[in-house]
Amino acid sequence: MNEFGKIFKFTTFGESHGKAIGVVIDGVPAGLKIDEEFIQSEMDRRRPGKNRFATQRKEADKVEILSGVFEGVTTGTPISMVIFNTNQKSRDYDNIKDIFRPGHADFTYWNKYGIRDYRGGGRSSARETAARVAAGAIAKLLLNELNIKIESGVIEIGGVRGEEEDFEFAKISEIFALDKNR
């Protein structure tokens, strides 16, 4: 799936080992103040290679706004953002180019489209989520104007349930745990 939403709509593009990934967002009204530092802070939260539970691929995830924003304010036209890939090592996948990986979307994509980008999974790579996070950052800015705040964290893992809900702690926890004592 490449397109999401009904009113606030976004379409992602690019592949894990292509030149870039990105997003085009439609449905953002004119006049929304865009805080590029906030967008980058959201990108930094999902950036790979920061902890032992994530891929060790090192990407800056630097967002570049191409259109839809003028002098820090939305124009009401589609907002396009690009994130250039800088640390892809396609050669690392040469040994599996003829093998479908169990538990990955390799076969599904090949069956649906008749072509398979074995280099890191192409569109089915977790790298594609960077474009979704960029769109989500714009959505958060819009929701903030309506005094709506979205936060998340892990409440329970394997039957061990936290007792506290500290959203600030979840932002620094390697596993996004809400309870610093569990």
Could you read off the pLDDT of 132-151 as tens digits, one per residue?
999 999 999 999 999 999 88
Q: Give the pLDDT score at 56.
A: 55
User: Which pLDDT band, with edges at 50, 70 and 90, does 123 fall under?
Assistant: low
Q: Give the pLDDT score at 70.
A: 98
User: Which pLDDT band, with edges at 50, 70 and 90, does 15 fall under?
Assistant: confident
Could you read off the pLDDT of 54-90 as tens digits, one per residue?
555 566 789 999 999 999 999 999 999 999 988 666 5
pTM for the full predicted model: 0.79
| Strand-pair category, 9-14 with 3-4 | antiparallel
Torsion of CA 63, 56, 52, 170, to 10 degrees: 10
Q: Give the pLDDT score at 170.
A: 87
Contacts of 54 by beta carbon, 8 Å cutoff, 6+ apart: 48
Query: What is the Cα–Cα distance from 59 to 48, expressed in whole angstroms?
Result: 7
Q: Does the structure show a pLDDT above 90 at 27?
A: yes
Q: Note whether 2 and 13 are within 8 A (CB).
A: yes
Return the structure tokens found at 55.
């891929």
- Residue that wins the pLDDT comparison between 114 and 83: 83
Which architecture does CATH list for 3-87+126-149?
4-Layer Sandwich (3.60)
Domain boundaries, the chain: 3-87+126-149, 151-182
